[in-house]
Structure 1
Amino acid sequence: MPDNVARIIAGASATFTASSMAISYATYRRVRPRLKVRAYFTIEVPHHLKVRVRNHGQTAVKVTKVAVQFREILYKDLYKRLRMRLPIGEYSYTYKHTWYPRLQEGAAMDIAAFGGAQWDVKLSDKNLWILAKSRRYLRVSLELPSGAVVYNRWRRKPGWLEDYAECEAPTGGQSQEP
């Protein structure tokens, strides 16, 4: 009899612990920062890259770094994986083709809860040449102080950038290093 009472108490305790963990997880999911990134190029001269960030979470966020990553078509990446004979889980995506745009002075890197920010990067001739010579698809990534990285979707680079690919590499302008 005392053995059954102890089992009932242990079962109730396990149930309450599991429900407490579920409530804590739901609270964490509700309060965490949820960023949405949108980036697009303007066609008008001078050309700009506009990056819009919206925070749909209840926690304020600080962005430490903005980068533009490039890649080729997805089936070419899959072909590299198969050629290297690595299991898919062990193949790491390393984006060697990354460009770090220089944001304007005084750009707000802090994003309030339920707020947003928009950054406007004026593209110099050197930046346009870098973008034109890059791979076919690009996306913008934001790095947070915790080390988490938020991306927008992969998109094709604009067709009008191809006009800059035939030009000579300009000197000056913004550097590619962070």
Structure 2
Amino acid sequence: MVVTGHEYVILDEMQRKVVVEFGSSMTLRCRLRTDKYERFRVRWYFNPSGSSLDKSTNISEKISFHSANTSTEKTGQDSWRGGRDNEETHCLPNVSHENSGWYFCKVIEEIPSNENINSNATQVVITEDPIYSNTRPVANKQPSPRPGLPGNQLKIVPPSQDLWTPSHSRRHDDGKQRHKQ
């Protein structure tokens, strides 16, 4: 059985390279300063071929509001999760080789002024466990469609079905004794 993990990828002012296991979940963490903004947008970008934000595709967007002591967020996507202060997150479940590339986040301040902050590029490389010559590849098995039985409801063989156990000292053939040769 293969257990996949969860990787956190930080997007901030530093350029990085992160290796993520095939099939695991990946959470992008935008760590750009947003504490001075009342209302701002966070946009997530992906570029499969290079570290240029200009040629990247916008993969998601979120609007957040800060008031004196509270913070709320408004988004139309279920994949957003609230992070700690000054950190917005976006989750990509079950990553594959198509998710390899460069990721960015961009914070766009809307109130009180109009200011943009971009993260540096973070390269994500999706890898699989190596297959050695003396082992078989692990198949990506789907879970059984039949529900399993809880441990206290497992079927037990009644003692009446635990019939004759052969003995090494005697050999029988249809009830007739057979001699050793």
- Point out the structure with the larger strand share: 2
Shorter-chain-normalised TM-score: which range?
Answer: 0.3 to 0.5
TM-score normalized with structure 1 length: 0.37
- Larger Cα-atom Rg: 2
TM-score normalized with structure 2 length: 0.36
- Point out the structure with the larger helix share: 1
